[in-house]
Amino acid sequence: MADSMFKATQQNVSDEHRDFLVQLLFFGMTVLLIIPVIIILCMLMWKGGPAISWEFLFSEPTNGMTAGGIFPALVGTVWLVTVALLVSVPLGVAAALYLSEYAPDNWLTRFINLAIINLAGVPSIVHALFGVGAFVLFFEFGTSILAASLTLAIMTLPVVIVATRESLQAVPLAFREACWNMGATRWQTIRRVVLPNAVSGILTGVILEVSRTTGETAPIMFTGAAFFLPFLPESVFDQTMALSLHLFVVATQVPNVPEHLPYGVALVLIGMVLLMNALSIGLRMYLRGQKKW
């Protein structure tokens, strides 16, 4: 009896030691992922910090883009991201609703799911060429904010669809069954029960989309972003500057650029992404707090 108790104690100690080692391993892997991010942010703040000022943020580039600010590029980025979100989020949520709530499990649905996965892996330069052929030439939108934003929307659509579908499927089936037993239709159940409980997960896809659309260069370079424009766009049919393209230009195409200027543009771009993500995450946490399950 005592011998068996001793062996059981040894086994428990061994399991606890193994669990501690696994936990330590995962913690080390997490730290290894965070360290490069911290190094990049510190380098950007150290080299780009001297460039940040009100004049830098709210004036246009001067002296062949070797001086001045980034205001046109900043406003253009907001235009591109906003229009892309307005197109991709409703379309992506609608597609996810159909695939999750309405579509039967057959070969067509499986083919659509496979197409969505493959679309997520298409290189951005291919999306750029598609945007030129479809939106710039075929629909005759020209090189404009609309053409660039539609290209970005198509590129990020799989992210929204997958995130929305996963959040919809995470809503317990019992919620749906309770509504159906009360006589609610399928659409009433989706609108009043499923979507409100899935909206926090949908915002996860929106956060990922904002991060990607803000930093993409190739799709907008061919479809709507301009090398230099000294004025702000007035409609979606105008061209615009963008932070990602402006960073590429001042870092590789413009001679005699002060060292702090490209780092300053990169710091503003990262800050803009972090700010948008922080607002989305804050809203998502608030909505999660409203859940009853």
Torsion of the alpha carbons at 177, 183, 185 and 191, rounded to the nearest 10: -70
Distance of alpha carbon 284 from alpha carbon 278, whole angstroms:
10
CA of 282: how far to CAs of 200, 273, 276, in Å? 10, 14, 10
Backbone angles phi, psi at 118, to 5 degrees: -65, -35
- Please tell me the distance from the alpha carbon of residue 172 to that of residue 157, in angstroms, as a whole number: 25
pLDDT for 66 equals 84
133 DSSP assignment: I
DSSP-assigned beta bridge partners for residue 225: 240
pLDDT of residue 8: 53
- The fourth-level CATH superfamily of domain 54-289 is MetI-like (1.10.3720.10)
Backbone angles phi, psi at 242, to 5 degrees: -145, 150
Contact 267, 49 (CB under 8 A): yes
Residue 235 backbone dihedrals phi, psi, to 5 degrees: -155, 175
DSSP label of 141 = -
pLDDT of residue 3: 56
Which residues have C-beta within 8 Å of that of residue 188, sequence separation ≥ 6?
179
Please tell me the predicted confidence (pLDDT) of residue 129: 92
Taking the chain (293 residues) in runs of 10, the rounded mean pLDDT of each run is 54 69 86 87 88 88 85 92 92 90 85 85 89 92 93 91 88 83 84 84 82 86 87 89 90 86 90 82 72 57
Structure tokens at 164: 């929305």
Domain boundaries along the sequence of the chain: 2-51, 54-289
Distance, in Å, from the CA atom of 211 to the CA atom of 84, rounded to the nearest integer, reads: 12
Q: pTM for this structure?
A: 0.85
By the 8 A CB rule, do 150 and 135 touch? yes
Q: Return d(Cα 247, Cα 73) in angstroms, integer.
A: 10
- In this predicted structure, what is the pLDDT of residue 10? 57
Question: Rounded distance, CA 267 to CA 270, Å?
Answer: 5
Q: The dihedral of CA 141, 142, 144, 147: what is its sign?
A: positive
At residue 130, the pLDDT reads: 92
Angle at 273 between CA 268 and CA 274, to 5 degrees: 95
